[in-house]
């Protein structure tokens, strides 16, 4: 029996269906709760596993609704306690600055301070020194444009109780003003701490109480605190640092700049803050800021260039295509966080985890925005004539303007390398940083945009077109960078150190050996002045090499220095002072050796090289504030 043939109408429909293009898969949507939860879980669980991060918390807010609140991994490796978004606290570090800004803006609303007031009008027992013919104003503290030098030695103390008050610490350690206020942004923990002291002085109560009563309690953030008590600390996630393949737990420490970074909070509480930010400053029946004040907080208040994102009051801007995100990141020993809002899309999220690895939050932000806030990107225009030459003149080494000019941690200034990699294309990176390099292409002379992403840069050049200043918008930060002279660049610095150290070591090894051989052969002893010259140079060489070794060991990294000068630092600096004092007579003896004919010609040349190396190290140590006790 033959099979039945399909009716002609059905056959025609089947043919048409086969000819029509397949329907594109549905775009991921924030409305699909299970899809969002699956994406976030998949991304974070993979990252935690690959990067050996114990745990994380993530909350997502859409309008006045918490769309997702979940913990991943563990709060403590030793106990295995899971991360609970309702119960587990994380140290949110510099995200705390948003709460300090909120408390200050409450005083502005009340008419008790003005944004353009000189801060000295309101500080009771502390005065910001006059400089540059312009006072530091309240708005400068809110936008990191006060122009303070940076400092991070001794900004925390181990244990739960700080050894001195905010007022006492600022009176003792407030950095000098490094450049005119309002000229450029330079991220400042001390500037925000000074704003917290102003809140304390004007409000008439300790800063922590002002934030507790004015922000945390009205928003129902009952499991958050700037000074968590023993009960809250019992639920605080443990911060860890990676050491090779192991995780080392870090002891709890108290920050001495509480307004800049002391808040500990749960994910659920941070969701309340996000909701208030998206609902005009109110949550439920409580209001922490008027709608118009909150709009000012979120609005752009400063930018380095009209082509770049900038800063609000407390917030940093990030552009994502046609969207504008505002955010604040936070890093403290063993913790990293990011709070991000996209007001136009009516959404916000908060992520925190217990290893200080800023790379994770950057990758998550890029992936989340690309997936749920997609944007159309225009194709890259063809490079304009001369783009390759302009890129070559701009390329070089720069330095972020946030660094310590006055003490020995100047060494930790973040270097920024700009490389010309093609016709009008640049690669911008910071060697030693966990953050990925940024690829940029020329949009117009002096202006560059990301090849794939939202980063952007503007260069200010000299008359010859050589880069002088770099303003970079990347990682949610408005960087202002100054070009380095050739001798300040990392290759010159490290190469010089290596060369000088090798020359000095050659003397320490060769000269005693040569003297021993001469004595064995019964050779004549050098005249007394020549022996003094040799001994002086050997002392200088030994002191410089020892100072360098002890300094490198003592300055192991910023994580140790935040608790104060480490053991051995004073000894290293003492050796440096001794070496510097011995360098001058060594150089004098080198000149005398040629005049008096000491030793052989080869030995005189070697002595001169040793004197030059000692002088070179003296100049290097002086450049990086290693001469004297500058900490």
Sequence-distant (6+) residues with CB within 8 A of 186 are 144, 145, 147, 148, 150, 178, 179, 401, 402, 480
pLDDT at 623: 92
Say which DSSP state 137 is in. B
Q: Which long-range contacts (CB under 8 A, 24 or more apart) does 407-411 make?
A: 407/151, 407/153, 407/625, 407/630, 407/631, 408/555, 408/573, 408/624, 408/625, 408/626, 408/630, 408/631, 409/151, 409/152, 409/153, 409/555, 409/558, 409/561, 409/631, 410/624, 410/625, 411/555, 411/624, 411/626
Judged by DSSP in three states, 395 sits in coil
pLDDT surpasses 60 at 251: yes
Q: What angle, rounded to 10 degrees, do the helices at 291-298 and 96-109 form?
A: 130
DSSP structure string for 587-601: HHHHHHHHHHT-S-H
Q: What is the pLDDT of residues 103-126, one digit of tens each?
A: 999 999 999 999 999 999 999 999
- Across the range 21-48, mean pLDDT stands at 87
369/320 Cα distance (integer angstroms): 8
pLDDT surpasses 70 at 10: no
pLDDT at 557: 57
pLDDT surpasses 50 at 552: yes
CA atoms within 13 A on the CB side of 529: 11
Q: What is the pLDDT of residues 199-244, one digit of tens each?
A: 999 999 999 999 999 999 999 999 999 999 999 999 999 999 998 8
pLDDT surpasses 50 at 42: yes
Q: What angle, rounded to 10 degrees, do the helices at 601-623 and 569-596 form?
A: 150
pLDDT at 13: 43
| Annotation: CATH topology of 387-484 | Lipocalin (2.40.128)
- Number of C-beta neighbours around residue 533 at 10 A: 24
pLDDT surpasses 50 at 3: no
The domain segmentation of the chain, as residue ranges, is 86-332, 387-484, 488-623
Say which DSSP state 5 is in. P
pLDDT at 202: 98
Q: Residue 72: which H helix or E strand, with range? A: strand 65-73
242/226 Cα distance (integer angstroms): 26
Task: Pick the most confident of 179-193, 364-378, 424-438, 511-525.
Answer: 179-193
* Residue of higher predicted confidence among 21 and 105: 105
pLDDT at 148: 98
Contact 67, 268 (CB under 8 A): no
pLDDT at 380: 73
Q: What is the pLDDT of residues 280-304, one digit of tens each?
A: 999 999 999 999 999 999 999 999 9
Residue whose C-alpha is closest to residue 618's, from 532, 544, 515, 526:
544
| Percentage, residues of the chain above pLDDT 90 | 81
161/23 Cα distance (integer angstroms): 62
Judged by DSSP in three states, 324 sits in strand
CA atoms within 13 A on the CB side of 54: 26
pLDDT surpasses 60 at 327: yes
Give the ranges where 488-568 is alpha helix by DSSP (H): 490-521, 528-554, 558-561
Judged by DSSP in three states, 428 sits in strand
Residue whose C-alpha is closest to residue 547's, from 576, 510, 568, 580:
576
pLDDT surpasses 50 at 20: no
Residue whose C-alpha is closest to residue 251's, from 332, 329, 154:
332
Lowest-confidence segment of 337-341, 511-515, 532-536 by average pLDDT: 511-515
CATH architecture, domain 86-332: 3-Layer(aba) Sandwich (3.40)
549/178 Cα distance (integer angstroms): 31
Number of H helices, E strands in the chain: 18, 22
Task: Pick the most confident of 15-24, 162-171, 434-443, 448-457.
Answer: 162-171
Sequence-distant (6+) residues with CB within 8 A of 157 are 163, 253, 254, 256, 563, 564
Residue whose C-alpha is closest to residue 629's, from 533, 40, 621, 11:
621
Q: What is the pLDDT of residues 466-489, one digit of tens each?
A: 999 999 999 999 999 999 999 999
């Amino acid at each position: 029996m033959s099979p039945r043939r399909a009716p002609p109408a059905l056959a025609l429909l089947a043919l048409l269906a086969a000819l029509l293009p397949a329907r594109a898969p549905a775009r991921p949507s924030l409305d699909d709760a299970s899809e969002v939860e699956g994406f976030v879980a998949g991304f974070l669980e993979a990252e935690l596993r690959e990067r050996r991060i114990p745990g994380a918390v993530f909350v997502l807010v859409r309008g006045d609704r918490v769309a997702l609140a979940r913990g991943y991994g563990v709060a403590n490796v030793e106990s295995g306690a899971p991360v609970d978004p309702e119960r587990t606290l994380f140290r949110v570090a510099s995200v705390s600055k948003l709460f300090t800004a909120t408390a200050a803006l409450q005083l502005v609303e009340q008419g008790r301070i003005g944004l353009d007031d000189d801060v000295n009008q309101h500080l009771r027992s502390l005065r910001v020194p006059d400089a540059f013919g312009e006072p530091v104003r309240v708005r400068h503290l809110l936008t990191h444009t006060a122009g303070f030098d940076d400092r991070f030695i001794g900004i925390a103390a181990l244990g739960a109780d700080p050894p001195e008050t905010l007022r006492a610490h600022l009176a003792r350690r407030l950095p000098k003003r490094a450049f005119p206020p309002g000229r450029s942004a330079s991220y400042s923990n001390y500037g925000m701490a000074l704003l917290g002291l102003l809140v304390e002085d004007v409000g008439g109560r300790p800063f922590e109480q002002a934030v507790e009563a004015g922000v945390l309690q009205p928003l129902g953030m009952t499991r958050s605190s700037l000074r968590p008590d023993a009960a809250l600390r019992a639920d605080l996630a443990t911060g860890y640092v990676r050491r090779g393949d192991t995780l080392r737990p870090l002891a709890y420490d108290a920050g001495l700049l509480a307004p800049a970074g002391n808040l500990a909070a749960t994910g659920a509480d941070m969701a309340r803050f996000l909701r208030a930010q998206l609902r005009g400053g109110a949550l439920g029946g409580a209001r922490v800021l008027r709608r118009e004040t909150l709009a000012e907080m979120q609005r752009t208040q400063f930018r380095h260039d009209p082509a770049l994102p900038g800063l609000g009051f407390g917030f940093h801007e990030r552009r994502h295509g046609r969207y504008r995100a505002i955010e604040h990141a936070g890093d403290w020993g063993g913790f990293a966080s990011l709070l991000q809002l996209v007001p136009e899309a009516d959404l916000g999220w908060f992520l925190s985890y217990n290893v200080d690895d800023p790379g994770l939050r950057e990758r998550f932000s890029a992936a989340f925005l690309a997936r749920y806030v997609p944007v159309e990107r225009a194709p890259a225009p063809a490079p304009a004539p001369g783009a390759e030459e302009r890129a070559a003149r701009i390329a070089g080494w720069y330095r972020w303007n946030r660094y310590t000019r006055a003490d020995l941690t100047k060494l930790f200034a973040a270097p920024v390398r700009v490389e010309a990699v093609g016709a009008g294309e640049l690669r911008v990176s910071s060697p030693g940083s966990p953050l990925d390099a940024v690829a940029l292409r020329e949009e117009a002379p002096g202006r560059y945009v990301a090849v794939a992403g939202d980063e952007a840069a503007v260069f200010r050049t000299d008359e010859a077109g050589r880069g002088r200043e770099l303003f970079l918008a990347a990682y949610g930060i408005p960087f202002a960078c100054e070009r380095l002279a050739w001798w300040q660049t990392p290759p010159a610095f490290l190469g010089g150190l290596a060369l000088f150290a090798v020359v000095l070591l050659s003397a320490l090894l060769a000269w005693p050996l040569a003297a021993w051989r001469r004595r064995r052969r019964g050779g004549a002893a050098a005249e007394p002045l020549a022996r003094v010259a040799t001994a002086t140079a050997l002392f200088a060489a030994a002191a410089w090499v020892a100072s360098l070794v002890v300094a490198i060991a003592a300055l192991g990294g910023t994580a140790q220095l935040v608790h104060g000068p480490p053991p051995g630092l004073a000894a290293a600096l003492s050796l440096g002072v001794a070496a510097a004092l011995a360098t001058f007579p060594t150089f004098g003896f080198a000149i005398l050796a040629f005049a008096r004919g000491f030793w052989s010609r080869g030995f005189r040349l070697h002595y001169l090289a040793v004197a030059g190396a000692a002088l070179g190290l003296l100049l290097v140590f002086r450049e990086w504030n290693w001469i004297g006790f500058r900490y």
